[in-house]
Every structure is written in C-alpha cells, then in structure tokens.
Chains A and B, each alone.
Chain A
Amino acid sequence: MLTRTALLMCTVLAILSVGVWHYANTSADYSYDRLLSSASVTMLDGINVDKNQVHIDLPYSAFEILQLAPEDKIYYGIYGPNGHLLSGYSDLPLEPSMTERAADQPRYELHTYKGQKVRFIVRHKRLSERSVAGNVTVILGQTTIARDTQMRDTLYAALTTLMAVMAIALLVLWLAINRALTPLSWLSSQLVSQSPLENGQLPATKIMEVAPLTQAINNYRQQWLDALAVMRDFIADASHQIRTAQATTKAQLEIALSSQSEKIDRSVVEAIYQDHTKLTRLTNQLLVHATIVHRGDRQEFIPLDIPVILQEVITHAVRDYAHTDIEFEYVAAHEKVAILGDEIVLKEALRNVIDNAVAHGSTGNAATHGLIRISLKASGPNCQLWVEDNGPGIPEEQRQRALERFVKVGSNTQGSGLGLAIAQTAAISHHGQLMLSQSELGGLAVCFLLPRLTEASNASLNS
C-alpha cells in the first residue's frame, strides 16, 4: 500500500519537476529579458537624427542596466534604415529583419556566439525625419550566466520544497494508515488468541469505530454457539435413544440365545421384531428430522398445490395401512389452495402426523374403528391442514411438551417421540405453526397453519 503510494508520489514528483523546470526557465527568461528589454530601449533613446544623419550617442545607463547580471558579457549591433551596420559587432549571428515594424513586440532569440549561449533581443525604432526615414534596429545580446544561475536556483529551491512536501505527505499517510489499521490489528489479534468455540465475548474497546464490529462479531458468535448447543443436545439425545433401542434389541437377542430350549419362543422373536421396528423407525425419523432441518435452513421453496400433495400423501397412507381397519376421511377445501414450500418436507411432516394418528388413534378402543380425518380449509391469508383422530388424544397440559423432541406423552410407548417435533419444525420452516387441540372425533387434532400463496406474492415471486 505504502510502496504503491510512494511510487505514485514519485510519478507525481517527476511530472511536477518537469513543470517546475519549465517554470524556472520561464521565470528566469522573464526576469533577464526585462533587463535586455530596458537596456535596448535605453540604447534606442540615444539614436536620433542629427544633421540629416543617424546620430548615435548611447547613454551610459544602457549598459549599466545590464550590470545587474554582473558576470555576463554583452554584444550589440546598431543597424540603420537600410540594414547597414552603424555600430557594434559586425558578426552577430542574427540580422535585423526589414519586414518587421517598429510597433512590433521585440523579438528574443537564443544563439551560440563566440562559443557561448547568448540571448538576443531585436528592437526597432522608427525614425521619421525628412532626411532619414525608416527603422533603426538595435540587436543586443547578453550571455546567460546569471539567467542560468537563477534558473538553477529556482529549480533547486522548488524541487527541494516539493520533495519535502512529498516526504511529509508520505509520512503523514504512513502514520494515518497505521493508525487507521490499528483497531483491525487489535481485533485480529484478539480473534486469533481466542478459540471460536469458547463462550467468551471480545473485550470492550475504546476505539469507537470498532465497537459495532466487535458487537457484530460477538452476536454472530453467540448465535453460532447457540446453534451448536442445540446440535449437541440433539446428538446427545439421538445417541441416547438409539443406544437404548439397540441395548433393548441386544438384550432380547441374548435372552433368546440363552434359552435352554432348542426352539425359540415365538413371543421372544415377536419382541425382537417390535424393538427392531422401533429402532428402524427411530433411525428413519432422525434422518427425516435432519433432512427437514437442513432443507428448512436452505429455504428453496416453490409454489405447491396443497390438494395434490394431500392426495398423494393420503394415497400412500391408505396403501400403507390397508392391512389395518383404519378409515381415512378427506375433507377438501372449497377453493384452490397453494402455498410456497418444500414438497418433500411437507410430505414428510404430514406422513409423520398421519403415522402418529394411526399409531395412537385407535389404541385400546377395539369397539370402534380407527378414524382419521384429513381436512383442508382456506381462511383468509392462511390455510389450515387438519389431521384428526378418534383416539384418546393428549391432555391439554401435556400438548406443549408433546411437541418437544423425544418426549412421549400418555400411553405412547411405541413412538420415537419425534413425529410431532418433525411436524412442528416443518411448519415453522414454512413460516407457519403447528397447533394441537381436542378433536371433534374425540382424539388429537393436529393443525398446520400455513401462509397461503396469494396472487400478489405469486406475482412478486415470478418477477
């Protein structure tokens, strides 16, 4: 950063140097051209017409003016109206031009004369006597020692100043950058020294500019730690559940193996089968739960036609439970119902709730057939998806707990305790909620309350 700035400044310096050189040159020329100019004017003052001739009587002051450049040599020529040399040096490197007029600005030229640089001025004066009419010309030259010295002095002074300014600017920049980056260095050192999994806040900083950043980092880390805690709990719970189920199966198998009889008691196999079924179900549900949580996080929603999904889910359920005597009842909505959602998540959630209803619906009530009513209602911006059964239901005070993971309520001994948790996670990931209540049928009523896809939100989605 600083290197690039230094390079940039060097470039700027180079460009400015050219400018300064030009300026020094111009100003030196300007100063010493004025000397030449006034000296030449003074010389012309001494040129007049006397007795029908050009009369030259150069004032002493003409050359005294040029003393201001004390080291420099002087060359001059005075030319009459016909261009003939009247006085001065005959071998000057330039000549008066006959076409120039006296009113013209004097002309300045740089020549090499007698092996040195000489700056010349050419100036005219109109003589308009009857006898002598025309321009007399003075060409006055001066070597450039003083001029070059002044140019160098100006150049060096300006360059020195320029470089000092640049150096100071660079220093200030360096300090400013360092100062500006100090909080970030501090922050990074703090972050490096801490483990991200430690539940520690960054120390409060006095640097105002960084406070929001530390706050944001703290927040971010807290959320991360919270999510991690949830995950840890879940893994702990899940492993406990799976181990328990495995231990039970293993115990049953050991009992079967340790039997004295050559034949295995069918009831033992039955028990092992039950335990294995439970384990399979648990594993499945854990995977489903993980899938739902994962998909819910990604939120890749598409418009879904709810009745179509319901029909598919019910079709499956009817087929799955064809060997039981459970009846399914479907109450369709009066209008078209669509939501934004994830088909897989939604189907899994419904299947779990239906499984739940099947599992608990008709238990211990052999007199009546199990009945499961699935109904869809549209109510304003939301739709309600009801799954009801005619089982014993869940007492009101236990309903909230029933939504937690691995919690089994009432007479439930077969379930994993995950079914309703899965349903709730799905409902929440669809920006809805899951409600439990007492069904008209006598059992539990599970209601998904989901926001409907309206025309407006559909339009905004498509655009």
Chain B
Amino acid sequence: MHRLIVSLISFFFVANLFANDTVLRIYSATDISAIRPMLHEFESLYPDVPVLYREFNTIELFDELLNPSLPAPDVVISSAADLQVKLVNDGFAQPVYDVPDVSPNQPWAQWSNELFGFTYEPIVFVYNKEAFKNTAIPHTHEALAEQLREKAAFYQDRIGTYDAGSSGLGYLVASQDEVTFSLTGRLQESLGRAKASIHCCSSILLTRLSTGDLVFGYNLLGSYAMAKATNNEHIGVIVPEDYTLAILRSAFVHKNATRPELAAAFIRYLRSPAGQITIATKTALMPLNRQLGSHNDPEQQLQKSTNFHPIRLGPELLLYLDQHKKAQFLNSWSLAMRP
C-alpha cells in the first residue's frame, strides 16, 4: 500500500537518498498528484534539498508514527485532524515559530505552535448528473434524509460514503457530523436502509459515481470531488446549504526530525501567500485562505455558503478517539449502516 514517490527533480540522486540526511522527509496522507505542485515550488525555493514524499492513508500514517518501521519524518501531513491532534498531544511534534497567519480570526486553524492547518476543504455531496436529470437534487442534510425516505427505491444500493471504520477521515467526518447535526442518527439509519456502500477512499467513490454505478455520494471530501468534477462532466458537487463541515489538512514538524529547520520552512511555505496561491491555482486542494477560491470551483460555491463549520484543531478532537467512545460510535454507526 505504501507508495514511495521521490519528486522528479531529485531523480538522479535517488540511489543516495536513503543514505543521505539532507533529504526532507514528508510523510503524508494526501494524494501525491494533489500536492506535487507545492513540492515543486518548495524545491525551487530550496534547490539543494531533495524532498522525499511518502504517501499513506490516514490510519496507516498514524500507526507508522506510533510504531515506526521507517526513519522518522521531518513533516507529517494529514487530513484526519483528530489523529493529528492526538499525535501532537502525545508529544510527537515540536513547536514551529513565525508561521504566518493566513488570514486573521482563524485561531482554529492552528494548535499551540505545533499543528498548522493549511487547507480548507469542505465535506460535500456528490451526485451523478444523468441520474438526477429528472430528480430534485438535495441541497441540505435534511432534504437528503427526506429523499432517502421518500425515494428509497431510487437511492437503493446507489449511494456511497466513507467507511468510518477504516478511514481516519471517514471517522472524523462522521463523528463531527454527530457533534454538529442533531439528526445525524436518523440520516445514518436512512443510509443504512438504502444499503449505502462504504469505501475507504475518495477515488473509488468518485469513480463509481462518474460511471453511474452510484448516483449519490454523501460526505465526500470536497477538494477531490471538485477536482474530479472539473474533468468529468458526469458528476456534480453540492456544498450543503444547511451546514458544511470543513476539514483542515494540517502539518507538523516531527519531534525527531533530522531537518527541523527545513521542515519549519516547509510549514511556513504552506501558509505563505505563495503557498496558498499555489494551492488555489494548481492543486486539487483548497487554500485555507477562502478568499483565494479554487480553480476547481468555477461556480464559487466555496464563497457562497456561510454555514461552514471548520473542524477546529484542538484537544476536543481527542474525545472521539477515546477507546470507549470510538467503540460505541463505530458500533452504533455499523448498526445504522448495516441493519
């Protein structure tokens, strides 16, 4: 499952990389394709430093850090804010100073000089355009719950969502849904009755949606979905109007980093205007600075909605990681989804 990608500029030095401490190691739960423009730009700023980028999924990354089998990374990036907070809380990070504020009044976008959010990615609905030609598209969670009840046959076996059990992001989104929205339980039951299919990754869900295998995707990561939608006319993206969770992809410098200064420079770059503009214009991700918009969001849905609930980086995210809490949540989630 591990995919090792060394960015292109350093190709000639690949053989030396593992023996060489001048490399900047980034362990990340982000598609390399979504982050490559940023790595390139950073390498142009620090041409002497090859970047070693290793991609994980969120839970693999978390486990690797807890029980290391690889050299310690310099930078850790993940969209699973709760796992990131847990790692920082347990002392896996070191403080970084002079990290720029992307925009004022975003205290939730960083935690304690150690964990820094750099994207703002909404959790969205994705639908297959052809399937909804003659059907009203639900724009709110409540409307979706209603449609699931009223048009059970339409949705039967044709709705998909993240697997809260195997995907760290899926668990974060599902649990925060419960915190934010009082009818989440009902919605989960409806999804269960519709025999919603659950998947580990955005890519699978998006592929199945574009082929028409699924007609509706619930709680997908907006950044990947919008990126896919710009290249694929079969799917559309809805930013829910009642409330939209937004997750912050976050980064920290590992306490055992071999290049802490460089790692800090990378984090400063992520939050710098240049980094944010690159995120907005060249990547599938969405910048923390919402004013910049995204080249994948031509309808500017990101700017329209005011009901964003960014999931703040803070210790309260630890609560759903409590063994008992997690077991109970997953238990009731499974019961609802697999009646």
Structural contact, B112 and A63, CB atoms closer than 8 A: no
* Interface: A270 (CB within 8 A): no
* B69, CB-defined interface residue at 8 Å: no
Is A380 part of the binding interface, using a Cβ–Cβ cutoff of 8 Å?
Answer: no
Whether B112 contacts A145 by the Cβ 8 Å rule is yes
Q: Contacts of B319 on A, CB cut-off 8 Å?
A: 58, 60, 62-63
Contacts of A70 in B (CB 8 A): 107, 111-112, 314
By DSSP majority rule, is chain B's interface helix, strand, loop, or mixed? helix
Question: Is A71's CB within 8 Å of the partner chain B?
Answer: yes
In angstroms, Cα B96 to Cα A167, docked, is: 41
Q: Say which residue of A56, A63, A75, A86 sits within 8 Å of B316 (CB atoms).
A: A63
A66 touches B91 (CB 8 A): no
Q: Which residues of B contact A57 (CB under 8 A)?
A: 324-325, 328
A72 proximal to B (CB < 8 A)? yes
Query: Which of A56, A58, A73, A86 is the one whose CB lies under 8 Å from B315?
Result: A73
Check: B323 CB closer than 8 A to any chain A CB.
yes
**Most chain B beta-carbon neighbours within 10 Å: one of A70, A88, A115:** A70
Q: How far is the CA of A114 from the CA of B91 in the complex (A)?
A: 7
Q: Could you tell me if B112 and A56 are in contact, using CB atoms closer than 8 angstroms?
A: no
Contact B316 A64 (CB under 8 A): yes
Contact status B315-A66, CB under 8 Å: yes
**Residues of chain B within 8 A of A194, CB atoms compared:** none
Say yes or no: is A181 at the interface (Cβ < 8 Å to chain B).
Answer: no
Query: Do A73 and B324 form a contact, CB below 8 Å, given A63-B315, A63-B316, A67-B314?
Result: no
Contacts of A63 in B (CB 8 A): 315-316, 318-319
* A38 in contact (CB, < 8 A): no
State whether A73 touches B322 (Cβ < 8 A).
Answer: no
- Kindly state whether residue B1 has any CB partner on chain A within 8 Å: no
Contact status B315-A87, CB under 8 Å = no
Contacts of B113 in A (CB 8 A): 71
Contact B325 A73 (CB under 8 A): no
Does A74 belong to the interface (CB within 8 Å)? yes
What residues on B are CB-neighbors of A145 within 8 Å?
112
Quick one: given A71-B112, A114-B90, A114-B91, are A58 and B316 in contact (CB under 8 Å)? no
Interface of A is mostly: mixed
How far does the alpha carbon of A45 sit from the alpha carbon of B86 in the complex, in Å?
23
How many chain-B residues does the 8 Å CB contact rule pick out? 20
Contact string against B for A residues 346-387, beta-carbon threshold 8 Å, 1 for contact and 0 otherwise: 000000000000000000000000000000000000000000
**B334 CB–A CB distance under 8 Å:** no
Within 8 A of A (CB), among B104-156: 107, 111-113
Is the Cβ of A87 less than 8 Å from the Cβ of B314? no
Q: Mark B85-113, 1 if CB is under 8 A from A, else 0.
A: 00011110000000000000001000111
> Which of A58, A71, A74, A114 has a CB less than 8 Å from the CB of B324?
A58
Minimum Cβ distance to chain B for residue A84 (Å): 13
Q: Which residues of A from 50 to 93 have beta carbons under 8 Å from B?
A: 55-58, 60, 62-64, 66-67, 70-75, 86-88
Contacts of A60 in B (CB 8 A): 179, 316, 319-320
Residues A71 and B316 in contact, CB atoms below 8 Å apart: no
The interface centre, meaning the residue of B88, B316, B322 with most chain A CB atoms within 10 A of its CB, is B322
A70 to B110, CA, bound (A): 10
Q: How distant is the Cα of A49 from the Cα of B158 in the complex, in angstroms?
A: 40
Contacts of B323 in A (CB 8 A): 87
> Are A87's CB and B316's CB within 8 A?
no
B112 touches A74 (CB 8 A): no
User: Is A87 a contact partner of B89 (Cβ separation < 8 A)?
Assistant: no
Closest residue of chain A to B176 (Cβ to Cβ) is A60
Residue among B88, B319, B325 with max Cβ neighbours from chain A (10 Å): B319
* A437–B179 CA distance with the chains assembled, in angstroms: 129
13 intermolecular pairs with C-beta atoms under 8 Å apart: A56-B325, A57-B325, A57-B328, A58-B325, A63-B316, A67-B316, A70-B112, A70-B314, A71-B111, A72-B315, A73-B88, A114-B90, A115-B91
Known: A58-B319, A60-B320, A64-B316. 7 other contacts (CB 8 A): A58-B322, A60-B179, A66-B315, A71-B112, A72-B315, A73-B88, A114-B91
* 8 pairs of A and B residues whose beta carbons are closest in the complex: A56-B324, A63-B316, A71-B112, A74-B315, A114-B91, A63-B319, A73-B89, A64-B316
Residues of A in contact with B (beta carbons under 8 Å apart): 55-58, 60, 62-64, 66-67, 70-75, 86-88, 114-115, 145
Show the binding face of B for A, using Cβ within 8 Å. Answer: 88-91, 107, 111-113, 179, 314-316, 318-320, 322-325, 328
